[in-house]
Structure 1
Amino acid sequence: MTDTADPDIRRHTAETARTMGDVRHEIDRLDRALVALLEERQSFMDAAARIKGKRSVVHDRARIEDVVAKVLAEARRQGLSPAIAEPVWRTLIDRCIAYEFEAFDALKPGRDKA
């Protein structure tokens, strides 16, 4: 028996949702899951800041394009619109790079500022 009081339990699919309450429950559930995944991703920005020896390597254009290409391939595979995937990931990457710069500077003050 499922616990319908648990907000993290999936109750519907897009096909079985019948009310806006059903839709909102699932969107809120997914948003909580996305926050947890984004926090995990952020933790690896902390690791990157710790591991990278120079601030100048925090922003890596080739890596950005590699990540976006992989995301777009996965989006196509799973049926996510590239019109959603690409701008979301480019913004995510941009914000993660800004976060990593802050983490780098906090860990290594004054190091490789150029």
Structure 2
Amino acid sequence: MSIPPWLVLFLAISFSAQAVFSAEDNLSRYYEIAEQTCFDIGDIRREMDRVNREILKLMTERTAYVKRAGDLKSQTTKIADDRGRVKDQERKIIDLSLELELPLEISLPTFRELMETSIKFQQRHIDELLSQ
């Protein structure tokens, strides 16, 4: 499954406890900006490349926290998968998606893929720590 880069950015931000959104952080406002600043496909591609770079930086930051959680879990549960946590995060994604005017058919599948791949990454990390 291919995850749209701008949506990964949205998800990464949504996981941050420090994420604060203003009334202007929504699809309508960003679309308005795009209408005012992008006049051809080249403009769109440049902006998407810019957003992609930010998404990758945020994904890197998020992955560091996923890995650190694996460090801590290796000392206790030894299991990365926490379905209660996934369900809790999904509820937050739904609420924030609605607030941001982001269609759920985009945010939920992307969120689920991000969570599942993060769980697999974290479990591999835990397993590596336990095998040392």
Runs of 4+ displaced beyond 4 Å = none
Gaps (5+ residues) in structure 1?
1-11
- Say whether residues 1:83 and 2:117 are aligned partners: no
Within 5 Å, give how 1:35-50 maps onto structure 2.
Answer: 35-50=56-71
* 1:55 Cα deviation from its structure 2 partner: 2.1
CA RMSD of aligned residues (A): 1.5
Which residue identity lines up with residue 44 of structure 1 in the other structure?
A: Y
Distance 1:79 1:14 in 2: 16
Superposed displacement of residue 15, structure 1: 1.4
Q: Does residue 98 in structure 1 map to residue 129 in structure 2?
A: no
State the alpha-carbon separation in 2 of the partners of residues 26 and 13 from structure 1: 11
**1:102-113 aligned within 5 A:** 102-109=124-131
> Is residue 2:43 matched to residue 1:15?
no
Q: Structure 2 regions of 5+ residues with no counterpart?
A: 1-31
Give the number of the structure whose residues are more often helix, by fraction: 2
User: Which structure has more RCO (C-alpha within 8 Å, separation ≥ 6)?
Assistant: 2
Give the Cα separation in 2 of the matches to 1:31 and 1:13: 17
**Residues of 2 paired with 1:29 and 1:108: CA distance?**
39
* Paired letter, 1:55: K
1:69 and 2:91 correspond: yes
Larger radius of gyration: 1
1:33 maps to amino acid: E
1:14 deviation in Å?
Answer: 1.5
Aligned residues: percent identity?
A: 28
SS in 2 for 1:55: coil
Number of aligned residue pairs: give it. 98
Note the C-alpha offset of 1:62.
0.9
